Copies of this chain bind each other. A is one copy, B any other.
């Protein structure tokens, strides 16, 4: 059970201005591409576990829900990692993507708010399994502070700055009720966290150098509802074809 990709149709600019780093080819890597790279990485992991050593763009794309041209273009931003006439080496491409997605440095994740949703997130095996072990938990509720969830002790939100700064937390997740989110966000920023995944239905104000991604389930449902409503307008699709497939956080265009 994974959760949400920023339903994300949008995204202001691409990775934009990455200040001319230094020497490597450091191509821009479009924002749209980044989220797909994460998907390819998951699929590569599955392929590898299945013992597959090589994949063609066609196969990898199919398993990822995109078309092969897009996949090849996406990978091309990282440089040439395939072999013409053959395909990609699963292991090495996986390694390349892990590096690109920052999976070589360990990412320590802090989760604030262990109520309903937060508790579920804390216990979500998919995180640890994918290299994002939740290493710190916080809440304001005295009934929750002090308990252990999956071996992690829940601490009071007032300790956020200290624990995050001291523990090298790079990513913060906010799963508190809306009204508490901004204050929690400020504490995370104080602790040096520059990347935040926000589940609260509010707009967070942050300094320029902090990145926030928002995950809003009701928005997802409303987008679905919109299409439900649309279908009632006129459809008359002969229930013929089958094979459809989903697309990342986006709608499967019922072309």
Contacts and interface: CB of A to CB of B under 8 A. Distances in A.
Interface of A: 1-13, 15-22, 26, 31-32, 34-39, 41-42, 63-65, 100-103, 105, 107, 109, 113, 115-121, 123-124, 126-127, 130, 132, 170-171, 175-178, 194-201, 203-237, 239-255
A176 to B, nearest CB: 7
25 contacts: A1-B175, A1-B200, A2-B199, A2-B218, A3-B117, A9-B31, A9-B35, A10-B249, A11-B253, A15-B227, A19-B234, A101-B222, A102-B227, A117-B121, A119-B120, A126-B201, A127-B217, A194-B231, A195-B227, A208-B241, A210-B252, A211-B252, A211-B254, A213-B250, A219-B249
8 closest cross-chain pairs (CB), A and B: A4-B4, A6-B249, A5-B7, A8-B8, A3-B217, A102-B229, A8-B249, A4-B215
Contact of A246 (B101, B105, B178, B203): B203
A132 to B, nearest CB: 5
Contacts of A32: 9-10
A126 B217 CA distance: 9
A5 B220 contact: yes
B12 A63 contact: no
Q: Most B CB atoms within 10 A — which of A109, A117, A178, A215?
A: A215
Given A12-B251, A19-B233, A210-B252, 10 more contacts: A5-B223, A6-B249, A12-B252, A41-B222, A42-B219, A195-B225, A209-B239, A210-B254, A212-B246, A219-B249
A244 B213 CA distance: 13
Contacts of A124: 116-117, 217
A196 B246 CA distance: 10
How many copies are assembled?
2
Nearest to A115: B1
Contacts of A204: 245-246
A123 B132 contact: no
Q: Most B CB atoms within 10 A — which of A26, A34, A209, A213?
A: A213
Contacts of A8: 5-10, 35, 248-250
A250 B203 contact: no
